[in-house]
A and B are shown apart, each in its own frame.
Chain A
Amino acid sequence: MASLTENSVLVSVQNLQKHYGDLAALGGISFDILQGEVFGLLGPNGAGKTTTIEIIEGLRQPDSGSVTVCGLDPAQASMALKERIGAQLQSTVLPDKMRVDEALRLFAGFYERSASVHMLLERFGLVEKRHTFFENLSGGQKQRLALALALVNDPELVLLDEPTVGLDPQLRRDIYALIEHFRAEGRTVLLTTHYIEEAERLCDRVAIMDRGQLVALGTPRELIARSGHGTRLEVRLAKPVGLDRLKLIEGVIDCGEADGAYFFHAQPAALAIAALVRFLESDDNALVDLHIAQPSLEDVFVEMTGRRMEH
């Protein structure tokens, strides 16, 4: 591991800009990643997450701005940096006929320091699949192999680009457990995702990105607390009610309707629920179903951008 002290800055991104032709992929973003934290870049497709992580990996050159990773400039000290970081691409492609253990041994052989291939196979649940060709692996197994490859050099910084995209919920939870293990080992992790659940569950801090801009940065709790949306309520009623009347209920911030259900953002929630029950009694109506959800990073995203995240 690096000689940096705890909470020292491992990655520093300052005023990073990147254009693809006329398209501004990054419009001057800045953030720091501290040693030992799991840092998330959350945003919809096209937000600039992959461009950012690839600049940090040294795969792309920024138009302007500066990046320092493990005290190195990725553009100038690419080889030295690659010895210290491990990365998983959004889509990892290996030759079809390459076996799992061959891939791990091959890539481990590229580094001055490498982890035990057997240990990686065990840890990522690939022991039984070690002789399987890449083309015969399932999506989840390929992703686990990609994560194992990111760890072949025992890196201090792990960069994961959409590690669970395209996986079913169970496989996604398996990957979450692996990433949580990275944190337990004291590794610093930068991950990009467009899954709210993933960012909320895994990340110590989250940077929300949209259209090349960083729109919010903080711990998930801080970001949600900063949001003025309040608790989210979903109710089904015995009889339909006009939205204009529901908006007048005490504590309700806003409301909407979809598929026969009504959605509220309420603050404080308890006051709004009591007022809703009273309103329904007076209106000769009844509460059929009620779901209460705490505000999420999605609400923060909606507040910051005025749009929902497209999954």
Chain B
Amino acid sequence: MPTVRIALLTIRLVMRTKVALFFTFLFPLVFLFAYAGLIARGNPNVVAYMFGPVVTLNIMGSGFFGLGMQSVMQRERGSLRRYRLAPIGPRTILLSNLLANYLLELPAIGLLLFTAVVFFHMPMKIGWVTLLVLVTVGTFAFAGFGLTISSVANTMQEAQIYNNLVWFTLLFLSGVTFPLPMLPRWVQRLAMFFPSTYLVSTFQGVMAQAESLPDHWPEMLVLLTSGVFGLLFAMKLFRWEKEERISTKAKLWSAVFVLPFLVMGMWMNTRANPAANWARSYNVAGRANAASPNPEAEKPNLIENFDGIQASEDLLSRWQISTDSDVSGHSMAETSLLTPGAEGTPHAMRLKGHLAPGPKDAQGHVSARYEVRVPVGSRNLRGIEFEARGEPRIYQVGFQPPKAAASPVPEISFVPGEAWQNVRVPIAWLANPSGYGLAGGPWTLEISVTGPAGEFALDLDEIRFY
């Protein structure tokens, strides 16, 4: 079969070319070591979080600079002309290039996986089949990208310009280089239009949150569609000779290639809420970071996740509940251990009670306090966050200094809903020059509820610095 024959020979040719070997197998490892060493600092769970971006980077590189440039180079060098004399058509050439690219990608990613597991002890949270499907879909999608660019570029120089434009955009604005939750909101919104975002976030969802591939079917569908579009364009615009130039009109047609991304981006921006999911993956990796065997890495983040608590009674030693501090108390509240917690973790805490109507205009009041030691290195902390859900009602949360503050301590209000939501309490305002400083005795995280009389229930989990 000509397609397989050409593909296998192409692989053999790559194996004989030192530069191609370097960029196919060794270069991705450089990125893995950089990401795992510098960003994840060797933490296995963070390595798992960063594995998706490394693989995506590798797949992107093979699509753009492997397959895409190879197609243009074959045309420029004139080696396609010899194939043209044989009884084979453009489809055979394109499919063989696609197949060779894919077959080269598999061992390259296998090597990445081996290195991540053996050298960085990355937990293998992804099944082999899931990994294979993800790599296959991703490789096909970015092959479509490479083929489209090689189809519309008339020369190598032109292809390089297009490739670099798209490459660097995707590289920096889609979570491949910087985790998406670290990027500004507008960049996150923009990232929703990029295919690399779909692949990275799917990888991270699967590897960090143990999600399944069907959870990410829209991303998979769009990636597959882009691969199909790219292949169709490449077949339609295929040229054997470098003298054959593509018209501007045909170039404009290729803009259709971005349609699936436009549709997906708009849907994600308006209907879906991927940013919250990205943050969850990021936080899960962060929590995993806290749970790592490295105590220095563990201390800075986690305050309380209730997972080490065996019984509801144990909460009493940690949480102080007070009711109706200003008037004689009729309100009541209690804490209990909840299973499971946010994002499927073992436990969470439920604060449940009743607000009594106060005399005259006074309102019932319940607060839960938790003492927090601010860790060394706190200058890098930006605040405290936690997951919350409950019956809709206004809650206040504040972070009280060890000594009575000279000026009022600001509080944050939030209203929980049925689903877990992330609540953040910035503490930057407490740092100098306001005069408190973070180090010193225990601070108090205080969550309080007041307002109309009646029942209330608030679930809390994953309290951490961020």
Residues of chain A at the chain B interface (Cβ within 8 Å): 57, 59, 79-80, 82-83, 87, 89, 91-98, 102, 106-107, 109-111, 133, 149
Contacts and interface: CB of A to CB of B under 8 A. Distances in A.
Interface of B: 2, 5-6, 9, 12-13, 16-17, 77-79, 81-82, 84-89, 240
A83 B87 CA distance: 6
Contact of A94 (B6, B79, B86, B240): B79
B6 A57 contact: no
B16 A110 contact: no
A98 B13 contact: yes
A111 B17 contact: no
A79 B6 contact: no
Nearest to B17: A97
In the complex, which of the residues A79, A94, A110 has the most CB atoms of chain B within 10 Å of its own CB atom? A110
A10 B384 CA distance: 87
B77 A93 contact: yes
Given A94-B79, A109-B5, A110-B2, A89 B85 contact: yes
Given A93-B77, A95-B79, A109-B2, A59 B84 contact: yes
Q: Which of A87, A93, A95 has the most CB of B within 10 A?
A: A95
B86 A82 contact: yes
Contacts of B16: 97, 133
Given A93-B78, A95-B79, A97-B17, A57 B9 contact: no
B9 A102 contact: yes
A299 B86 CA distance: 39
A79 B13 contact: no
Nearest to A152: B86
Given A110-B88, A111-B87, A89 B81 contact: yes
Top 4 A-B pairs, shortest CB-CB distance:
A82-B87, A97-B16, A110-B86, A93-B78
Contacts of B5: 106, 109-110
B79 A57 contact: no
A94 B88 CA distance: 16
A169 to B, nearest CB: 27
A94 B5 CA distance: 15
B382 to A, nearest CB: 54
Main SS at interface, chain A: loop
Contacts of A57: 85
B130 to A, nearest CB: 36
Contacts of A111: 86-87
Contact of A98 (B2, B9, B78, B89): B9
Contacts of A98: 9, 13
B88 A95 contact: no
A223 B17 CA distance: 53
Contact of B6 (A93, A106, A149): A106
A82 B85 contact: yes
B88 to A, nearest CB: 6
A93 B80 CA distance: 8
B87 A97 contact: no
B79 A87 contact: no
Nearest to B243: A20
Contact of A149 (B2, B9, B82, B87): B82
A64 B31 CA distance: 57
Contacts of A80: 87
Contact of B82 (A82, A92, A96, A109): A92
A2 B85 CA distance: 20
A89 B17 CA distance: 26
Contact of A89 (B9, B77, B82): B82
A133 B12 CA distance: 12
Given A59-B85, A93-B78, A149-B82, 20 more contacts: A57-B85, A59-B81, A79-B87, A80-B87, A82-B85, A91-B78, A92-B81, A93-B77, A93-B81, A94-B82, A96-B17, A97-B17, A106-B5, A107-B82, A107-B86, A109-B2, A109-B5, A110-B86, A110-B88, A133-B16
A59 B78 CA distance: 13
A141 B6 CA distance: 23
